Amino acid sequence: MPNHFARPATPSRWLFATATAAALLMLSACTPPTRPDKAPITAPEIDIEQLLSSEDYQSAADQLLAQAKQSTSPQAEQLRLAAATALLNGRQWDAAEQILNQLPLTGPVDYQTAFSIQQARLLIGRNQAQTALLRLGALGENVTPTLQPDYHRTRAEAYAAVGNHLESARERVWLDGLLSKDAQADNHQAIWNSLSQIPAAILHNLRTMPPPDVLSGWMELVETARAQRDNPQQLGIALSIWQERYPGHPAQPDFVARLQHQVSSTGPATHAQHIGVLLPLSGPLAEAGTALRDGILAGYYQSTAATTTQLRFYDTGGDTGGRPDQIQTLYQQAVTEGAQQIIGPLTKESVAALAGMGNFQIPVLALNTLGNETSSPAQFYQFSLSPEDEASQVAERAWLDGQRRALALVPEGAWGERLLQAFTQQWQILGGTLLEVQRYGSDQRSYSNDVRNLLNIDASEKRHQAISRLIGQQPEFEPRRRQDADFVFMVASASQARLLRPLLRFHHASHLPAYTTSHIYEDTADHILDTDLDGLRFCDMPWVLPVEQPDARRADIRRLWPDREQRYTRLYAMGIDAFLLTPYLKNEQANMLNRLDGVTGTLYMDNARQVHRRLQWSEIKQGRIVSLPAHSAPEPVQEGTGNLDTTSSQDLTDDYPATAPDSGGQR
């Protein structure tokens, strides 16, 4: 069976209506007030339920607001809150926020609880899920049975939004017992989707409770399916064993049967007959666009699609998205000329301009991202060489290696802050502690002071001075670094790392492991120069790492275009994977396993249709790259001053798809 790739299934209608239904139930539970000139006001009429079931949230909200005008407190506030809830279900954030801002903060306990839950849902919609979790956590024990389903589901969504897929699954396990049997099917799929986002090594280590623990049962089910996904017959045997280990588990029998049927019945993925590619083949980004084009062609000619699929390239030229109509016109031209799928465009500005169309006739695989603050339209997918993904994986790797207390050494500027934020978020989710952050500037002469500050060398010297003043003499002294840290997260280019890593050793931190991203690896043959990087652990795509049998496609471009291969090899690999991904965009629910092995990493997609990569880990030893197992404790590196050269560093920028300092524009 092919290793299929899919976005998690879209939730069914009950997920959109349940929150409003909870508000309506709470409303109907309130004693309706009476007025001398009017009959008692009753609970909302059935037509609102019908509007909700048909997902006409705006009309449902209008009906609720109209009823609120005819009501008195506290029912009027309950009705307006239900209207805001309906709008939140329809993702109409501005309209819902306007209503919530006008509602009182105090009232009956159920009202206050429901109000806080809907505020949290708005925060999630505004990409402020961490704040939403704080709001929900403040509810404590005040959540009544009526609101428990909405509470746990909102917490699950918030945890998923911040990347804490384990806690998201845990919340849904709690939620499961509160749902009807029909609703449980969607909840089971959501549990599966969350746990499927967790890397295999981490998932295995998180499964600590023995059978019949329900959450551990879900984890083991994911592991079982991953291990046997290419062998339906063996999967059937493995699932039978799993069922014996977890009798009565909620996944039995329906979800297990669906899983086995899907693995058995899924056919091979096929490419569309006509694919349009939007790339800058002229102008300032022509070399980057050409590298991507060549990678796409390499993937095309080495697949069976070469005989059934037509590729047509459209030059976006020097346009960087300043004219949205230009990139949208090219998209429409490709569709008119028969394209069934689109690859591209490349720059962030062009991707944003194209996404602004909002309604796509065919799937689009953009070669950059919109950013967390912008939601992705239907049929619009995002694939980039995201440095944030790498920083998150540094946190995961350090945790697996047994590290718990981190220091961070990052460059000043937006690029360093992005990676620091991604690392910190994942590190805190895992339970790690970030002790201190030190930022360094472009002046390499200050690097030594920056490292000293990070390691608290100055504090050691101040203690020595205080003791000297106290005893009236100068005792023998050697500065000591701080002893409370387990490792350093370093963000740097190769030239910067060749200065910073020896400084860490020079300042008595040779036994302090250092983890970093792919930006320190230049794939040079100068092993003597790279000895300055000894001990650094970094993640990178399989395409660029040395292996016993390198990909023949890379050998070809190294022979034909040596200069381009050095500067743009990662974009070439990205082009290969972009073509590899296209068959899996036609059916988002093609498979529940959600993993695809590419040359840029193991690919998977999140709920926002953004493709992420799981990278391979290596360590530099004696200037050479050594592959690392799933997890292992770093070995100490011998102290020494290293080669403290004064190579100038370049400014940090953020263009296609992400440029690291001194990277030559390759990312």
Q: Which residue has the higher pLDDT, 624 or 10?
A: 624
Under the banding of pLDDT at 50, 70 and 90, the label for residue 490 is very high
Question: Does the domain formed by 392-541+616-627 have CATH 1.10.1140.10?
Answer: no
pLDDT band at 630 (very low <50, low <70, confident <90, very high): low
Residue 422: what pLDDT? 93
Question: Above 50 in pLDDT, residue 653?
Answer: no
**Chain centre to alpha carbon of residue 405:** 23
Q: What are the φ/ψ torsions at residue 303 (nearest 5 degrees)?
A: -120, 170
| DSSP-based helix, strand, coil % in the chain, nearest 5 | 50, 10, 40
Q: Are strands 341-343 and 616-621 parallel, antiparallel or unpaired?
A: unpaired
Report, as an integer, the average pLDDT of 87-103: 88
Q: Is the pLDDT of residue 182 over 80?
A: yes
Predicted confidence at residue 16, as pLDDT, reads 46
Mean pLDDT of the 448-470 span: 68
pLDDT tens for 282-332 read 988 999 999 999 999 988 988 877 788 999 999 998 654 446 678 999 999
pLDDT of 15 over the 70 cut: no
User: Mean pLDDT lowest for which of 75-79, 467-471, 654-658?
Assistant: 654-658
What is the rounded average pLDDT for all residues in the chain?
79
**For 506-518, what is the mean pLDDT?**
87
Q: Tell me if 115 sits within 8 A of 100, measured CB to CB.
A: yes
Rounded CA separation 458/449 (Å): 9
List pLDDT tens digits, range 371-414.
766 678 889 999 999 999 999 999 989 988 889 999 999 999 99
Give the pLDDT confidence score for residue 146 in this predicted structure. Answer: 87
pLDDT computed for residue 660 by the predictor: 46
Is residue 387 a contact partner of residue 659, using CB atoms and an 8 Å limit?
no
Reply yes or no: is the peptide bond before residue 475 cis, omega within 30 of 0.
Answer: no
Q: How far apart are CA 120 and CA 128, in angstroms?
A: 9
Task: Tell me the DSSP string of 569-603.
Answer: HHHHHHHHHHHHHGGGGS-TTS-SS--EE-SSSEE
* Distance from C-alpha of 156 to C-alpha of 194, rounded to nearest angstrom: 9
- Over residues 132-153, the mean pLDDT reads 87
CA distance 167 to 1: 31
pLDDT of residue 555: 67
Q: Which of 50-59, 550-559, 594-603 has the lowest mean pLDDT?
A: 550-559
Would you say 2 and 265 are in contact if contact means Cβ atoms under 8 Å apart?
no
% of the chain residues with pLDDT over 90 = 34
DSSP letters of 445-508?
Answer: GGHHHHHHHHHTHHHHHHHHHHHHHHHTS---------SS-SEEEE---HHHHHHHHHHHHHTT
- Match 């403290």 to its residue by tokens: 644
Summarised one tens digit per residue, pLDDT across range 542-552 is 888 876 555 66
Q: What is the pTM of this model?
A: 0.66
Instruction: Report DSSP letters for 11-41, one per residue.
Output: P-HHHHHHHHHHHHHHHHHSPPP-BTTBPPP
- As a CATH number, domain 13-197 is 1.25.40.10
**Mean per-residue pLDDT for 240-258?**
92
In the prediction, which pLDDT does 292 show? 94
How many other β-carbons are positioned within 10 Å of the β-carbon of residue 31?
8
Residue 227 confidence (pLDDT): 77
pLDDT of residue 42: 46
The residue ranking higher by pLDDT, 643 or 66, is: 66
CATH 3.40.50.2300 maps onto the chain at 274-383, 392-541+616-627
Res. 7: pLDDT tops 50: no
| Comparison of pLDDT for 411 and 638, the residue scoring more | 411
Residue 3: pLDDT band with limits 50, 70, 90 = very low
Q: Per-residue pLDDT tens for 326-357?
A: 899 999 999 999 999 999 999 999 999 999 88
pLDDT at 478: 55
pLDDT band at 34 (very low <50, low <70, confident <90, very high): very low
Instruction: Give the residue-averaged pLDDT of 438-453.
Output: 91
**C-alpha pair distances (Å), 576 with each of 58, 289, 303:** 44, 13, 11
Please say if the pLDDT value at position 522 is more than 50: yes
98-111 mean pLDDT: 86
Confidence tier at 596 by pLDDT (50, 70, 90): confident
For residues 645 and 446, the model is more confident at 446
Superfamily of 274-383 according to CATH: Response regulator (3.40.50.2300)
